[in-house]
Amino acid sequence: MIRAGVIGGSGYTGGELIRLLLHHPDVQLDFVFSRTRKGESLHRTFPDLIGQTNLTYVDRPNADADVVFLCLGHGNSGRFLETWTFGADTRIVDLSNEFRATENRWFGQREFVYGLPESYADTISRARNIANPGCFATAIELALLPLATAGLLKEAVHISAVTGSTGAGAGLSETSHFSWRNNNMSVYKPFTHQHLAEIRQTLESTGTTIPELHFLPHRGNFPRGIFATLYTAYAGSIEQAVDLYTAYYEDSPFTFVTEGPVNLKQVVNTNAAHLHVHLHEGKLLITSVLDNLLKGASGQAVENMNLMFGFPRDRGLNLKAIGF
């Protein structure tokens, strides 16, 4: 059993991590840190945990925990690690974008490795610190990595992706308020979304030149999930494309290439990503769907923890989709 701690355990990603860690057969949830909720029961914030844990929030982390997950807003992870010191044997998984860029991978003596298991499983298994990928980034990287690795990304890629309201965090804002979000849809940060940098960095790590990525992110009127469609020029046949994607993900326990079109209910509440490829007049369309809070955040964080500690990648992550 390893002892795990969660920093920032009152938001969406923190809540999902708590649920996953409580049911992980090889993990003891040691503490959940919150500056503002010290002494409160976890199930006061997350009523679905009634009867599952008697843990209360603490305002002082255990410096000797085996693994600590940072579920803090951008810019706060580094400040937290400056304030609180953990032992050299404590592994850190950061869910913000603070350490994802190659130039930001070092924090003091800690080197953070980009945590996309489908590409870097061997490196992650030897790492001490992980920069967990972003949710949009995960969906888009999984959709494009087979093409990039094969040197088949020759022309611009056009990307449209819709995310659920939980992608904006638990804090209330004008665009996450129910009365605004319900029966509504909008585009935001067109062509400039912050995840583009890590997407390009990951694709360039394949050693090929990456063309322009034209990304239009949208806010959807549903709570969770990402539905992304991407298309680019492709000279091969649909059979070759399917074989390429299937071979690339043949060892992945969570990323699957489907025969038919995909939808969000296939993946919501799971750590799975489903991909579908379609060819039309020299354009390859890739559809990528995942749960932004699980494969796009907390589930992938646990997957990375499993790799670091030598557990099977799917340990504690065999979750049921919401089919209806």
CA neighbor of 80 nearest in space, from 113, 123, 110: 110
Q: Say which of 6, 29, 124, 135 is annotated catalytic.
A: 135
Q: What does residue 313 show for φ and ψ, rounded to 5 degrees?
A: -60, -30
CA 274 to mean position of chain CA atoms? 14
**Hey, which residues does 31 pair with through a beta bridge?**
5
Residue 262 Cα distances to 23, 174, 283, angstroms = 29, 31, 18
Please report how the helices 135-149 and 117-126 are oriented relative to each other, as an axis angle in degrees rounded to 10: 100
CA neighbor of 308 nearest in space, from 76, 80, 89, 22: 89
Sheet holding 67-70, edge to edge: 27-33, 2-7, 67-70, 91-94, 129-131, 110-114, 106-107
Structure letter (DSSP) for residue 55:
-
- The answer to whether residue 71 is catalytic is no
CA-to-CA distance for 266 and 258, rounded, in angstroms? 11
Q: Which long-range contacts (CB under 8 A, 24 or more apart) does 19-24 make?
A: 19/46, 19/48, 19/49, 20/298, 20/299, 20/302, 20/316, 20/317, 21/302, 21/316, 22/49, 22/52, 22/53, 23/316, 24/302, 24/315, 24/316
Q: Cα angle vertex 257, ends 255, 261, to 5°? A: 120
Structure letter (DSSP) for residue 56:
B
Structure letter (DSSP) for residue 84:
S
CA-to-CA distance for 133 and 99, rounded, in angstroms? 10
Please report how the helices 12-22 and 298-309 are oriented relative to each other, as an axis angle in degrees rounded to 10: 40
Catalytic residues: 135
